[in-house]
Structure 1
Amino acid sequence: MDRIRLAGLLKLELRDGRVIRLCDGGFVPWGSEIYRVNDTQFGIIGSIDSFEEGVGDEVPAFSITFLPASTAAAVDLAAPGMQGSRLRLWIAEINDLTGQIIGTPDQQFDGMLDQVRLVTGRAKRELPMTFVPRGERFFNSNDGNTLSSAFHKSVYPGELGEDNATGLTSAVAWGVEAQPGSNGGRAASIYPASGWSNIINNPPFREV
């Protein structure tokens, strides 16, 4: 009679091209890849949250705590450019005599890195990483793309209309602070003094 055991497999594809493959004990060969209990650079998994289901517009998230081998590795994993790295988890059936996977592992999660924080202390270095399903992208409104020069040129190559749309607020002098002949001086003759504060907070034109 064959003895079957279960093994958890984790594959984290970092945005810089590196791949972390971990399992929950020993090592597990799968095709041309090998999943190990320890990554020489990024360490081991300290803990992993249980999965939760989402309802409606809620996207469930869970956290994996890495125990990185060094502070440099922790800083590397926590770099802002790593956000969005793909994570996949499987449960595999292993033939205990041959050490080979039976059939195809059952995929449990396919998501992306959302948040990372570094926790340090005396003889302590932990890296809790929060992951969300890839469906999280459906909740991104991408409002900022409409005034982004790079995005605008990707749609209209060579069009320079958004080059000066930096998203920063331009300071405009009003009333007594305006120099003679400036726009602020002309504005003072158009709007009554009692309405200046309201105009400053709610200008009658659209800023870009």
Structure 2
Amino acid sequence: MGQLNPALLAEMQKRRFTLFGAVEIVLPERTVRLLDGAGEVMIGGERYLGRDPEWGVLAYVKGLSDSDGDSSPAPVLGLVPSGELALSQMLNPALQGSPVSVMIGALDRQTGSPIGEMYVPFTGELDVATPSWDLNRREVEFALSGVGERLFQVEEGRRLSDSFHQTVWPGELGLAFVTDVESTVNWGQSTSSTAGGTRGVFERPLNQEVSR
């Protein structure tokens, strides 16, 4: 987590202050900005609402914490959608990977504006959506993946070759005319060496006596 803004830190050290949270979800077609309570607040020139006409209200954000080692923060975001139309939109697989920011701030009661800069404990992406839909509960919970999650992806299958390079960047010819990118190691067979050349440990015939 980053450091608190000095103005926000000073406000939070007071005996009484008004704390609030906000979430921004950048969808492919629009951006949803929600508060954790009623009303509206302008943050960075953008309007955050207590209730979105389609995506409903923010229920909770769980799992915000520092982490180290080989793990990445994985909080969950709970939303109460406005209706069945919003539910179908929330479960659209195309939304997976949409950027999400979770913010915390203190409100100036006289002006209705945040004090200092918002504290951003989490930035990441939408992951899997899980609906809970019955007579007494209508909720959609999103698993969030942090930006550091991509650092743990296994890079198996990657090769320093033109063929693999073309699968990632089609038409990019950076490796098309590069020689000696791939070299063959002869194992267990004798090879001829030119004058001034050298032979590696894997280029000797098997069972060959080595003199020291």
What TM-score does the superposition give when structure 2 sets the normalisation length? 0.64
1:2-58: CA deviation from partner (whole Å, max 9, x where unpaired): 9842221111111x1311101122211123211111101110122221413323111
What TM-score does the superposition give when structure 1 sets the normalisation length? 0.65
For residues 113-152 of structure 1, the aligned pairs below 5 Å read 113-141=126-154, 143=156, 152=166
- Residue segments in structure 2 that go unaligned for 5+ positions in a row: 1-13, 174-212
Kindly report structure 1 stretches of 4+ aligned residues shifted beyond 4 Å: 142-146
For residues 23-42 of structure 1, the aligned pairs below 5 Å read 23-25=35-37, 26-42=39-55
Structure that is richer in helix per residue: 1
Please give the root-mean-square deviation of Cα atoms over the aligned residues, in Å.
2.7
Residues in 1 aligned to 2:142 and 2:149: alpha-carbon distance in whole angstroms:
16
Q: Secondary structure at the match of 1:138?
A: helix
Do residues 20 (structure 1) and 36 (structure 2) align?
no
Deviation at 1:94, TM superposition (A): 1.6
- Counterpart contact for 1:23–1:36, Cα < 8 Å: yes
Q: How many residues align?
A: 155
- Residue segments in structure 1 that go unaligned for 5+ positions in a row: 160-208
Q: Secondary structure at the match of 1:109?
A: strand
Question: What residue in structure 2 maps to residue 157 of structure 1?
Answer: 171
Cα distance change, pair 66–142 in 1 and its aligned pair in 2 (3 A): farther
Q: Report sequence identity in percent.
A: 28
Cα distance change, pair 73–154 in 1 and its aligned pair in 2 (3 A): same
- Counterpart contact for 2:106–2:114, Cα < 8 Å: yes
- Counterpart contact for 1:22–1:38, Cα < 8 Å: yes
